[in-house]
Amino acid sequence: MALTLPESAAAGRHADWEERQVDIREDRAWMLQSRVNPFPISGSLALEGGRISFTLDAAAAEASLVWLEEQFGIDGLKSRIEAGETVVAFDHPLDEVVVSWPITGGGAMCTITAPERKWVVTYDYPSGGAVSQTLNLVSGRRKAKEWKRALAEAGA
């Protein structure tokens, strides 16, 4: 599976997730290696045209990208991101994935089971500290409700 969209597929995508226009939903999110060893990577989770995708943003260049490079068998993600290349970690039709919200994620985390792996995505940065985690859960639960509604509208 290609990590970077071909030029024709990437046309119209912006490096800054806030500038993109999607037909249903898009939010800043963090992709995690796993729920136990997070190694969060910043980007945007989008639901558009019957597809769900995660695109890395410029801040992802500062993350530990080793696990994602190993997943795809490539090197040099940091330099690609810094060069402004659009890097898509996954992009699947909704009928190829199962999206769920594990109870242990407190509502702020979802899993997207795709053909190549189970992706873990959280709507809020997984930081330490009880106060920040509590605040994250509140906003994460709100976003989860919005995503569940958007997925239902998209027929998932």
What fold is seen in the domain 7-12+23-153? PH-domain like (2.30.29)
Average pLDDT (91-113) is: 87
Which sequence spans correspond to the domains of the chain?
7-12+23-153
How much is the pTM? 0.78
Q: Per residue in 16-69, pLDDT tens?
A: 444 444 567 898 999 999 888 788 999 999 999 999 999 999 999 999 999 999
Q: Per residue in 115-135, pLDDT tens?
A: 999 999 988 777 655 444 555
Give pLDDT, residue 152: 85
- The 3-state secondary structure of the chain reads CCCCCCHHHHCCCCCCHHHCCCCCEEEEEEEECCCCCCCCEEEEEEEECCEEEEEECHHHHHCCCHHHHHHHCCCCHHHHHHCCCCCEEEEEEHHHCEEECCHHHCCCEEEEECCCCEEEEECCCCCCCHHHHHHHHHHHHHHHHHHHHHHHHCCC
